[in-house]
Structure 1
Amino acid sequence: MSRAALDKELKSIISDVLGIDEETADALDDESGLFGHLPELDSMAVAGLLTEMEDRLDIVIEDDDVDGEMLETYGGLLAFAEGKLAER
């Protein structure tokens, strides 16, 4: 999957799971804050987001893979997803 395709899919996942409009999700860039910045992304939503990423990207996310850094910015989450796809 290309970075552009992954970017589009990840933004779609964020929009679907968090219930935010597509324009807001599309405006996310590498520096956009996620956890602690998007009110919709609380601790309960993190589990749903990661589960949906596993399902739609066909990856496995282990509990010890999850840390604050990967959820701090959109760029961090995108890099994490890229790394997981590379492991397949």
Structure 2
Amino acid sequence: MTTEKHVLRILEEVLSLGGRSATFDRDTQLLGALPELDSMAVVSLLTALEEQLGIVVADDEIEGATFATVGSLSDFVAAKLG
């Protein structure tokens, strides 16, 4: 499974999107475009990414641009997976 598919699966689970993530691509806007992705959901999403993918995200690595699109979030996770 690609990193992007992992990210989409976790987004679907954490945000309870009801299958909407199946229509998402790299350019799909997240932060500010999905009402489900509020500040509390960002924390839940980060926790799920860390637990399910075995990555660690430091507080100083968290910025809004990371959550701008599916692509930016997938690229961030891919870099963490190294």
TM-score range relative to shorter protein: over 0.9
Q: Which runs of 5+ in 1 are unaligned?
A: none
One-letter amino acid of the structure 2 residue matched with residue 67 of structure 1: E
Question: Structure 2: which 5+ residue stretches go unaligned?
Answer: none
- Paired with 2:24 and 2:59, the residues of 1 have a C-alpha distance of 25
Q: CA RMSD in A?
A: 1.0
Alignment TM-score, normalising by the size of structure 1? 0.88
Equivalent in the alignment of 1:84: 80
> What SS is found at the alignment partner of 2:56?
coil
Q: Are the counterparts in 1 of residues 27 and 69 from structure 2 also a CA contact under 8 Å?
A: yes
Match of 2:11 among 5, 9, 14: 14
Amino acid at match of 2:64: G
Q: CA deviation at 1:28?
A: 1.3
Question: If the length of structure 2 is used for normalisation, what is the TM-score?
Answer: 0.94
For residues 65 and 5 of structure 2, the distance between their equivalents in structure 1, rounded to whole angstroms, comes to 21
1:63-86 CA-to-partner distances (Å, cap 9, x unmatched) read 111101111111100000000000
